[in-house]
Amino acid sequence: MKYGKEIAIGIASGLFASWIKSLVEPPLQELGEKIWKPTPEQKLLYGADVNGHPENMPPAVLVAETKSLVSKKPMTKSQRITSLKIVHYVFGAAIGVGYAIAAKKSKAVSSAEGIPAGIAVWTLTHGTTLPAMGMQGKVRQMPKAWHVWEFGSHIIFGGALEACRKILNHLPDCSAKKK
């Protein structure tokens, strides 16, 4: 397989970066909300409150709306939160694969320790596509604190993605034939 090693590294790096992102979001949200207190209405916007309303985060909204096309029975809060986690990690792994393959083809992709990749992921998801699809409030409507934790966690995601990719890329290739 032409990119077998990059696919494996990308999956592992994407899962790791997603895990790191999930760890930093809550404290970043708390920090942002100490500086810019959101209104109760703002916290109810899709995607605005990972700590208090994880069932309203875009991955959970996507799964709930997709399920509603098939079944009239709505998802429970618990099901929505579980779906959030599954989509979060699957999407992170997919981004990791694309990133690892692109980084192999061009060193420019991994420039600045993955931070531009994290910014690109935020821009292509939370900055444009998710609001356009109605899966998240429009960027200008989101609380100021949201920018701290959502944008900040994507920068950290990009850095974690590149750090993990670098480490794994230096491991010996287990599939290499011994001479």
**Helix (H) or strand (E) segment spanning residue 89:** helix 77-105
Question: What's the rounded mean pLDDT across residues 71-77?
Answer: 93
SS3 content of the chain, % helix, strand, coil (to 5): 75, 0, 25
Query: Which of the two residues, 61 and 171, has the higher pLDDT score?
Result: 61
pLDDT band, residue 175 (cuts 50/70/90): low
Q: Is the pLDDT of residue 16 over 90?
A: yes
176 pLDDT band, cuts 50/70/90, is low
Q: Among all chains, which residue has been given the structure tokens 């531009």?
A: 116
Note if the pTM is more than 0.85.
Answer: yes
167: which residues sit within 8 A by CB, 6+ positions away? none
65 pLDDT higher than 90: yes
Q: How far apart are CA 153 and CA 18, in angstroms?
A: 9
> Residues 116-161: pLDDT tens digits?
999 999 999 999 999 999 999 999 999 999 999 999 999 999 999 9
Domain boundaries, the chain: 4-169
